[in-house]
Amino acid sequence: MASRCQLLTQRHDHSWFTEAPSDINTYPSSLMTPSPTLPPHITSRMYALYLLFSTTLHIFLQILLSFLSLPRTLHTHFLHDGARYLKEHYYTPNAFALITGSTDGIGRAFALELADRGWNIILHGRTPARIKPLLEHLREKYPRQTFLPLPIDAAEAGGVSQALQKLGPDISVTLLINNAGALPPVRAFPELSDEEVIDNVAVNVTFGVLIVKALMNGWFARRSCVLAMGSIGAVMTLPGTPTYSASKSYTHKFYACLRTQLSSPHPAFSATTPSPTELEILPIIVGGVRTKMTPISEDGKIFFPAPQEFARHTLAKVGLGREVYGYFWHEVQMWCITIWPEEGGMRGWVNGAMMHGVEKLRAEGWRRLGGGARMVDGRLVGGGRVLRGSMGEMIEMVEVAIVKKIPIIKG
């Protein structure tokens, strides 16, 4: 009997389990079940099939969603009469439109378009000298309208309220086009100075936020509209724009939160100073436009409109009251990218392929700017011969042209 009990005890001895060893190799070999492995060619084939299936499904669902949202897209870009809405709801003979960054590019195009529609305009620029040419042109062409300068260095980002007070107490703004923005110098990010990073964020973020805050403290009319220029860079990755693209992401989120806060019934969010009872906030997703930032001078590039064309299309979105693309083909461009899944790096590959073509065109434009060319109404004018060279030479020329502000030609 004792021997039988001893045998059973030996059979069911679990002391090895209660005292777990620190090294897994000391476990009984009978319990060490190896995980099944497949040959590399089978696993790679399975992953390829999975990638093909997931990509096909993703594209199918994206196309389906696009068809479902097609009526909204058609209404946004083709059926909505924003020009009429702008005139009926925000235009009055005594009201003003304030345009930040109005001395060049998109801002200048907005100023010309609104002046042609009879608006009084406050022109913002970095210095009085930068504002003067456009100011004199508009005053000469439209003598019955009022055009006022607003010189503020957006990189300083201070003194916005004081500068507005100098315009006079009777100024009523019904349309703000927050357009001021800038790319950082064309260098590797670690090579940028702290001041360059701070200034770039101040121009793209701080200044725009402060001017909205200042206008809400009594300068906006009771019914007003804010057109906030965002960027496609907030959605897709662009080389050389870490601070710029991140700043534009902030811009989109800021206006979305501000719109929500203004509609909140909570008393903590009610302004104690006079504020507009109806403020339409319209963030605009901006793609490539033929300016100094994207110096492409070729007609027929549907993804790169001239500034005047972009301004006209964007003003046609007033009244929609939500984040939209200002230009139809910019939305198509983003659809061509976002239709691809991120799985397997496909979206990144498509994005990189598209941006490679863009960078070639921009590099050619920058070479010409470095040779003395100028962007005039979406076209590169002058500058002599087109500069040739490697990407490194192009970056060096951009540094000379933009940072040191002296033209240089390399053959």
Residue 152 structure tokens: 């503020």
Place of tokens 């403020």: 279
Question: Long-range CB contacts (< 8 A, 24+ apart) of 238-243?
Answer: 238/355, 239/355, 239/359, 240/183, 240/184, 240/186, 241/183, 241/184, 242/189, 243/184, 243/197, 243/200, 243/201, 243/204
Specify the pairing of strand 379-381 against strand 374-376: antiparallel
Which pLDDT score, from 0 to 100, does residue 298 have?
64
Q: What is the pLDDT along the chain (411 residues), one digit of tens a residue?
A: 555 445 444 444 544 444 444 454 554 555 455 555 555 655 778 878 888 888 899 899 999 999 999 999 999 999 999 999 999 999 999 999 999 999 999 999 999 999 999 999 999 999 999 999 999 999 999 999 999 999 999 988 778 989 998 998 889 999 999 999 988 887 888 999 999 999 999 999 999 999 999 999 888 888 999 999 999 888 777 777 889 999 999 999 999 999 999 888 887 777 766 667 789 999 999 999 998 888 887 665 788 999 999 999 999 999 999 999 999 999 999 998 889 887 667 777 777 777 777 777 777 777 777 777 777 777 777 764 444 444 344 444 444 444 444 333 332
Nearest-angstrom CA–CA distance, 70 and 335: 12
Which pLDDT score, from 0 to 100, does residue 201 have?
94
3-state secondary structure of 377: coil
How far is CA 370 from its chain centroid? 26
Domains and CATH numbers, the chain: 68-182+192-339 (3.40.50.720), 348-411 (no CATH)
- Beta-bridged to residue 284, according to DSSP, are 229, 324
Which pLDDT score, from 0 to 100, does residue 399 have?
41
- Beta-bridged to residue 379, according to DSSP, are 376
Nearest-angstrom CA–CA distance, 307 and 121: 18
Residue 145 structure tokens: 């309208």
* Side-chain-side CA neighbours of residue 355 (13 Å): 17
